[in-house]
Each structure stands twice: as structure tokens, then as C-alpha cells.
Amino acid sequence: MLGVPMDLGGGRRGVDMGPSAIRIAGLEARVRELGLSFEDCGNVPVDQPESLDPVDPRARFLDEIAGTCEDLRDRVGELLAADKFPLVIGGDHSIACGTVAGIGRHHRERGEKIGLIWFDAHADMNIPETSPSGNIHGMPLAACLGRGPAALTELAHGAPIVSPENAVLVGVRSVDAEERRLVKEVGLEVFTMREIDMLGIHEVMKRALEIATRGTAGFHLSFDLDGTDPSVAPGVGTPVPGGTTWRESHLVMEHAAASGAILGLEMTEINPILDDGNQTAQAAVDLILSALGKSVL
């Protein structure tokens, strides 16, 4: 486990406490109960917003976020080189640029591609020129697909970090107008909540895995807790009603585990300030266990 207490990418404070909330929820003991080894590698250093001035209002705290993502990229690469599975806990979703870069660079050096399943209520496909807020937590998927500031797109020493043909967005239900244009422009496959309602999460994940594993070494699962319904995870940075249910959320993770192709897992946007008795961190721990192979029998 790597914690990334990033609180720079969003407009609402509190997600920097996400890694602590996960630890308090007993992640280590629960993982060990599965018969797996567990190593808590501490937190990647992150600057605090009180001591900073956002230089560019279109991409707030870009330099600081990119610096943390460089550190995270290197730490993830070291874990993979040691044949360890990286579990990254945020923090806001801007951290994904570093996680995906670490996994992408590791496999690129071996002549391999990676896939990406991005589970989120939001598209995260803004760039500084289109973002209505300038908050970078709304830009990381675009950056992973090669669109946006070079400080983020080039983290893996080559853009795009992930080819759009191997990336898929699941659970989305809140998209800005300019994001819609960019989604279509890059050819990103998207399964909105409408598709989940119509097809069922089993069929959606079956199709998503086909996309993310086609010609790749495997896929990274970047899981924003706000992709679930607020009844499942109330303590998130930007909640949106109408997300996946408890069982649908677990089925996402169970499919990822059953595929045998998951290269890394990331949980983001846990905000204890907005939570009720650490319910969201507890839900996140349960979901992580499903992604690591926990089953009923």
C-alpha cells in the first residue's frame, strides 16, 4: 500500500485524510485474513495548499501535483520491479497520473502496453483550456490518454501513457460539455449509468475487460469512490446521486480479480470530513478485498 494524501487537485478539502481513514478501517488485518502478505509503504510526500499559491487558475497547483506524481510514479515502479502489487490510496483523483505512469512505464520498458479501467461518476476528461474550475482532479484521465499539460502527459516518458483503444470509463453520469467533445475525439469507450442499467454490470464489465486486456499485459483499475451511489460511499469529494449499488460495486471488483489481469488498484476521493462514522473507508476496504480475490466460498 502507498498512501497519497493529495488535497491539491480538488476544490473541497478533506481527501488528504483518505489514506489515514483506510488504515483506521483495518485494511492491513483484513488483507492478511485473505492469506496475502501486506506491506504499508507509508505516504508519498505532498505539499499542503495553505503554504502554496496556485499560479495558473486554469490548472491549479500543476507543478506541485506533477511533482508528487513523479514521486508516486517512481515508487510504483519500484514495487512492480520487486514483483509486488501496487495498491494506491488517495487523495484526490489527480494522483492517478502518477500511478498509471508508474505502471505504464514499467511495462513500456518491457515492450508491453497496459489497459485502463476508470471507474468514476465524472469523466475526468477536461484539460486546462476547457475546465470550468481549473481543478486538476477533473483532468487525469485526459492526461493519461495524452491530452493536457506535458507535466502530466509525459510522466511515463512518452504520451499517451495508455492508448485510448485500451481505456474504458465505467459508471459516469456527470460530464461537462467540452468533455463530451474530447471523449468522442479520442475515441474513448464509455459505459454510463444508462448502459449499466440497461445491460447490467456483469455485461458492462465483461466488455470493459475485453477492451482493457486486448493486446496488453493487463490493466490498472482506477476506482473513484464517487462512482458508487452516495448510499454506499457518502464521504467522497464530489458525490453524485444514481451510482452503482453495493453489489454492483463489488461485482466490478470481483470481475477485475477473476480476470487475472489486474496490474494495480487505486482508490481515490475518500473524504472523512463528509463521512458518517468512517463508512466510506470501510466500504473501500471491503471493495479492495473483492478486487484482491475475496469470495463467498
Annotated catalytic residue: which of 226, 248, 254, 275?
Answer: 226
Annotated catalytic residue: which of 92, 93, 255, 275?
Answer: 93
Annotated catalytic residue: which of 124, 248, 254, 266?
Answer: 124
255 in catalytic set: no
Residue-wise DSSP of 131-175: -SS--GGGSHHHHHTT-S-HHHHTTTSSS-SS-GGGEEEEEE-B-
229 in catalytic set: no
98 membership: H or E segment, kind and range: helix 96-108
- The DSSP call for residue 43 is B
Annotated catalytic residue: which of 106, 107, 122, 255?
Answer: 122
275 in catalytic set: no
Annotated catalytic residue: which of 120, 248, 254, 266?
Answer: 120
Distance CA 61, CA 59 (A): 6
224 in catalytic set: yes
137 in catalytic set: yes
Annotated catalytic residue: which of 7, 64, 92, 137?
Answer: 137
92 in catalytic set: no
Distance CA 174, CA 179 (A): 10
71 in catalytic set: no
Annotated catalytic residue: which of 64, 92, 224, 266?
Answer: 224
157 in catalytic set: no
The grid cell for 203 is 455485461
Distance (Å) of CA 91 to CA 58, 113, 166, 207? 20, 26, 25, 29
Distance CA 288, CA 194 (A): 25
Annotated catalytic residue: which of 7, 92, 229, 269?
Answer: 269
Just list the catalytic residues.
93, 120, 122, 124, 137, 224, 226, 269
